[in-house]
Amino acid sequence: MPDHLTDFFAPMPALISAAEATRSLRVGTNVLNNDFRHPVLVAREAATVDLLTEGRLQLGLGAGYVQSEYEQAGLDFDAGGIRVERLAEAVTLIKGLLKGEQVAFAGRHYRVTDHTIFPLPVQRPHPPILIGGNGRSLLTPAAREADIVGFSGITFRRGGAVPDISGWRVSEVDKRMQLVRDVAGDRHLRLELNALVQRVVVTDHRRQAAEELASRWSQLSPEEILQTPMC
């Protein structure tokens, strides 16, 4: 489930409904906007969802990017670097709480005093955590802390109003994957790498489909669209 203040279901109740209707389907957020919820509440909700789904939750987190949503909700839309820094602090808190630790934390953005959560999640030490995005500043903490690094390939400029998909090019994907390898070090082999597929076209005519997409996505050629893992 995505997490936007527009025509979408609220993520956590929707995940519970999907899990209730199935036996083995894993459910997840892709991704929660960190600035919409305090990390203590995220940890508590995630643990409860994991328990109620018998250990089927994947917790996806992101830094947020749609300025208009912040403005409508009366939230400050800080610079990207600050949002990423706040997300990094939140991930530290969330992981500690989901592990069952008594967390004491004093950072630039959050302060938590000797807090524990109940219930604890089924999955140990915690449900898999995905951190998703495209910018190098976000992929750096993702490589250090996430179980799953989510490559969206899109950079949203001007407060989320202008999508830049130049990151879909194979050369750009390779650069970001190399960044994750370098930052993750020895833990790289344990990471799951995730590509957010933006378009699926069922066809016997791949070239024609790529040309039609390129007519809408002028930043990419049909050849680049055929090569990208994002569609």
Q: Is 89 left (phi over 0), alpha (psi -120 to 50) or beta?
A: alpha
Q: What is the pLDDT of residue 186?
A: 94
Q: Are 180 and 143 in contact (CB under 8 A)?
A: yes
Q: What is the largest CA-CA distance in the chain?
A: 59
Taking the mean position of all CA atoms in its chain, how far away is CA 117? 23
Angstrom distances, CA of residue 31 to CA of 2, 55, 81, 134, 188: 5, 18, 18, 13, 22
**160 pLDDT more than 80:** no
**161 pLDDT more than 80:** no
Q: What is the pTM of this model?
A: 0.93
Name 84's Cβ contacts closer than 8 Å, sequence gap at least 6: 63, 135, 137, 138, 141
Encode pLDDT of 110-120 as tens digits: 999 999 999 99
- What are 18's two structure tokens? 């999907």
Dist. CA 217–CA 128, nearest whole Å: 33
Name the band, by pLDDT with cuts 50, 70 and 90, for residue 18.
very high
CATH topology of domain 1-127: TIM Barrel (3.20.20)
Q: What is the mean pLDDT of residues 174-186?
A: 96
**180 pLDDT more than 90:** yes
Q: What is the pLDDT of residue 82?
A: 97
How many C-beta atoms lie closer than 10 Å to residue 5's C-beta?
Answer: 15
- Parallel, antiparallel, or unpaired: how do β-strands 155-157 and 162-164 relate? antiparallel
Preceding omega of 27 cis (within 30 degrees of 0): no
Q: What is the pLDDT of residue 157?
A: 84
DSSP structural state of residue 54: T
Residues of the chain with CATH 3.20.20.30: 1-127
